[in-house]
Structure formats: C-alpha cells, structure tokens
Chain A
Amino acid sequence: MKKNQFPPSITNLLLQEGQRFEKDGVFIEALGTGIIPIVGTARAGKTSLAYTLLDYVIRHTKRPVILDSFPERVILEGIPEHWKGRVSNTAFDKIAAVDAPAVWLVDDTGASFNSRDAMSSNSKTLSRVAGVLSHFGGGMTVIFTTQLLSGVDVSFFRYTNISPIIRYVDSDLIAHERKEWKPSVIEGQYQLKRVDSGYLRNFFYSVNDEQLCPAPFPEWLDKKINPMKADLLSRPMRYHTTEMKEQIIGKKKQKRKKRVDVIEKTE
C-alpha cells in the first residue's frame, strides 16, 4: 500500500500530526486529527474500507489503532498478523484515558451514537469529545461507519475537521439523509455509477477531494481465502455476546459495573 494510496484530505487525517505527504506536487504536514465518516447502505463495504484505512495507518504511521467495543474474539482471531500489538478494543467513552494519537474505528455508529439517543451518555461523551479531539493524546482521528448521516448524532460532524467518504447508498434511503449532506450523497452516487455497477464496491467517493478513489480489497478480507476471518472482520457485531447485542440495540440498559468488567477483559 503506497503512502499516497488515498486522496489528500483522507491522508491528512490518517497520518500522524507533522508527517509529510505530497499534495498537488508540494509536501505538506499532516493534520493528524479529525473525523472520517464512511456512509453506505448495508453490505456496501463500509467496514472493509475502514479496515483498509486502518491498515494504511498501521503500515505508514506509529499511531495505535482502537476498535471501539469490538468483541474480543475479533481482536484475537480476526485481525491480520501484522496488526497484532497495534490494536486494542477500548470503549469510546474511555477516550480520556488514552494518551496516544490513536485512530479509532467506531463501527455502525447508528447503533452506538444514534441521533435518537441525544441525551444518552455515549452521545454526550461524543459531543464533548468532538471539540477536543485534537487535544487528546496529541490529536486523534475517528473513522466511523454509518448507513446514513441522519442517523448519527450531529455532534460528530459539528466541531472538527471531517473528510466524508461516500459508498453505495440505496436510492430509496437518500430521501432520509440530512439536508446538509444530501447533495454530497447524491453527487457521490452519480460519480460512482459513472465508473462502476451493482453495489459499486470498487470505488469510493471522497467528498472533500471531489473525486473517486479505487477501494483496495486486501486478501485478508477475502472470504474465499479465509471465510471465518473475513466474517469476523466484516460483521464484528455478530460476535458479541447476546447480552452485549441487547445493550447495543437498547433492549437492555448498560450496567456500569458490567461495562468495567468487559473493558478489563478486553484490554
């Protein structure tokens, strides 16, 4: 994977603050902090692309990677060999305890930081964290995946640098997108359809760069090579305990004591 694998606005947030990269023929220093939302309908390849971005971080930086509340089994059995030692699964509400310029993956944000749960502790943490993301650990980056930005608490993209990525979004769902983002999603679909067909998985559209980018698909995500590993990474939420799944969908209230147990177990 090359250092300029991704367009400048994405590279700018993936590299660590101060790392240099080329933009329009000139070397500039990366900002290294901000939010990369990946928008796409279910099975559009959001999580796979997020892993590819994390793979880039692991190969080109020394930043730690944190998979928010991922099942322990995914960390132990799913991640590729070269990721081991670089990845942990701390919960996002423990962000203040992390003192390193980490890159977070918050998968399926609609479940954890839903706009309908504006006053829940997760969403309140988020609204406060978004404003000071550049301070914590020397500047952190959050990659999050969601099916529509309208399902995510608005604090996520209110305060900091963002570089949205658009994947395939079902045309029936676009009508429900936030009005601020609808034109970008429509434009993304139009651009993707110019070069791809079906679920448009071969490319993604970078809103800030206003261009398409080939979506790399590493072999460790290929279910033809290792179906179990591929499924662990592709649908991590499947491998949570039933209790945890119920907490995610809000059926069961989170018990503080239980949560501490989970975190201790996974660290």
Chain B
Amino acid sequence: MKRQNEREYDRIAGSRMSKMKGGIPLHVALSNSKSITLRNKIKRMGLKGAHIDDLISLIDEIGIQSTLQNQPLGVRFATIKREKSKPKIWKPGS
C-alpha cells in the first residue's frame, strides 16, 4: 500500500509541475554541504575560467543528485524544467 500511495503521490507531484511554471530551477540550495564546501574552496582559491565553471557545475550536479536520489520519482521529475502543461479537457464532438 505504501508503494502504491507513493506512486499516486508521484503522479500528483508530476502533474503539478505546471504550478512551478515548468519545474524548480536547479539551485545550490538543492545540493548538499559537501559540494557547497568544494564550491567555496574553488572560489577562495581564485580559480576562474570555462573549465572551472564546468567543474563547479559538475560539483553542483553531484550534490543535487545525492540529495534527490532518495526522493520519490515525482519530486525528481519536478526538478526538470519543461513547458507548462495545459489542463486535459474532454471535448464533446471531437
């Protein structure tokens, strides 16, 4: 029953992504303390450049993934930015 409820709530969370205007933007707040420490370390070292931006982005992604890995599917999907869904309405005569 717990898994069944989880799936139901996942579906609801998925259908509500529109409320967030197309998913929650990825943010360091979704990350974890280890990646934020690494992020700040690189900043303090004064490292700059495209390759450093890529590295920070990778650190953020790893942190966000570790935060989300134990979350239900609906929550994980809600972090994906996508177009706002329209309500599905039955059209008689269609």
Contact = CB atoms under 8 A, between A and B. Distances in A.
Contacts of B89: 195, 203, 211-214
A212 B12 contact: no
Contacts of B93: 2, 4
A183 B90 contact: no
Given A187-B11, A190-B12, A190-B16, A209 B92 contact: no
Nearest to A194: B87
A191 B12 contact: no
Nearest to B7: A183
B90 A213 contact: yes
A2 B11 contact: no
B9 interface: yes
A183 B8 contact: yes
Contacts of B12: 183, 186-187, 190
Nearest to A209: B90
A153 to B, nearest CB: 20
Interface in B47-94: 87-90, 92-94
A94 B8 CA distance: 38
Q: Which of A179, A184, A194, A195 has the most CB of B within 10 A?
A: A194
B92 A187 contact: no
Contacts of B8: 183-184
10 contacts: A4-B92, A6-B90, A6-B92, A183-B8, A190-B12, A190-B15, A195-B89, A211-B89, A214-B90, A214-B92
Given A179-B1, A183-B9, A212-B89, 8 more contacts: A4-B94, A183-B5, A183-B12, A187-B11, A191-B88, A195-B87, A206-B90, A213-B90
Interface of B: 1, 5, 8-9, 11-12, 15-16, 87-90, 92-94
* Top-4 shortest CB links A-B: A183-B8, A211-B88, A213-B90, A194-B87
